[in-house]
Amino acid sequence: MSKSPWNKNRIIGQKRPLKISHIWGIRIRLELEGKIRDLALFNLAVDSKLRGCDLVKLKVSDVAYGSSVSSRATVLQQKTGSPVQFELTKGTRDSVAAWIRIAHLHSADYIFQSRVGSAQHISTRQYNRIFHGWIEKLGLDNSLYSTHSMRRTKPYLIYQKTKNLRVIQLLLGHKKL
């Protein structure tokens, strides 16, 4: 009795970054559907370039001071232990501020809280489910994209324009190329 390999007929390896048209397609759908939390999550994922495990653990105090969302934030990465700085675009600041206001969040709260309790953040598995919902709405092949696609999207777009690997290295907090 031979067992079939786990990866037979599956696409494995690096997943694709999103294209500009995908980014706008998702943003517009989330805005039209009034999904403020998902819009804030999506925008933060694109702007921050954080791994999923770091993104879901963001607290209000990481990106906001008082009632205003900062244009720049610094987060300590779980994987490397090193800090990474990122800029938040106006659209991201607006969507995050709207979510903080609507959800009545305080500085010590996770931005994306679990339904289990406000003391917990959403899981990376839940983030994965949310992400794949966005991909399905665009009619894209789910197997070609993952939450890591979000981390790769902005650096990919910047690299397409500049061809500067050093900038990408700094944006992602990589020590080596």
- Is residue 77 within 8 A of residue 49, CB to CB? The reply is no
pLDDT digit string (tens) for 54-85? Answer: 999 999 999 999 779 999 999 998 988 888 89
Distance from C-alpha of 164 to C-alpha of 105, rounded to nearest angstrom: 38
Q: Of 24-33, 67-76, 166-175, give the lowest mean pLDDT range.
A: 166-175
Give the whole-angstrom CA distance, residue 135 versus residue 15. Answer: 13
Tokens matching residue 130: 């949310």
pTM of the model as a whole: 0.87
pLDDT digits (tens, 9 = 90+) for 135-165: 999 999 988 888 888 888 888 888 888 888 8
Residue 27 has pLDDT above 90, yes or no: yes
DSSP at 79: T
DSSP 122: P
Task: Please choose, from the candidates 111, 86, 91, the residue with its C-alpha nearest in 3D space to the C-alpha of residue 101.
Answer: 111
Neighbours of 50 (CB within 10 A): 23
In tens, the pLDDT along 101-138 reads: 999 999 999 999 998 876 899 999 999 999 999 999 99
Q: What is the pLDDT of residue 93?
A: 97
How far apart are alpha carbons 81 and 168 in whole angstroms?
19
